[in-house]
Amino acid sequence: MSEPLRIKLDRTLCDGFGICARHAPDYFSLDDWGYAVLVGDGNIPEQHRDAVRRALLDCPVHAILEIGERRPDETPIQPLREPDLDQLKTEDNEAEWGFTR
């Protein structure tokens, strides 16, 4: 079974090309000015995923975003390192590291 598809529409990005409404009219409609409106709560059932994904990929301004639980990178976050105080550049040692005013 494939992962669930959840989307959201950033209407501030929409330029009103209407491609999404053509690909997936059950999930996108156009308002009176031709800008997209998301129909429903953004949860896309499996049988409509291809059409909605097509709309997502074809939107020229990337106004349709996939949201999900997946993290693209599972690399653990590295802890911050303490600075090496002996290497710290200060006014006291500026002659050593070559700072000029």
Binding site for ligand SF4 (CB under 6 A): 14-20, 28, 36, 59-61, 63-64
Q: Considering beta carbons, is residue 31 or 94 the nearer one to ligand SF4?
A: 31
Q: Considering beta carbons, is residue 12 or 78 the nearer one to ligand SF4?
A: 12
Place of tokens 């500026």: 94
| Minimum CB–partner distance for residue 22 and ligand SF4 (Å) | 8
Place of tokens 């800008």: 35
| Minimum CB–partner distance for residue 64 and ligand SF4 (Å) | 5
CA distances from 30 to 35, 54, 74, 75 (A): 5, 17, 38, 40
Contact 20, 64 (CB under 8 A): yes
| Minimum CB–partner distance for residue 43 and ligand SF4 (Å) | 18
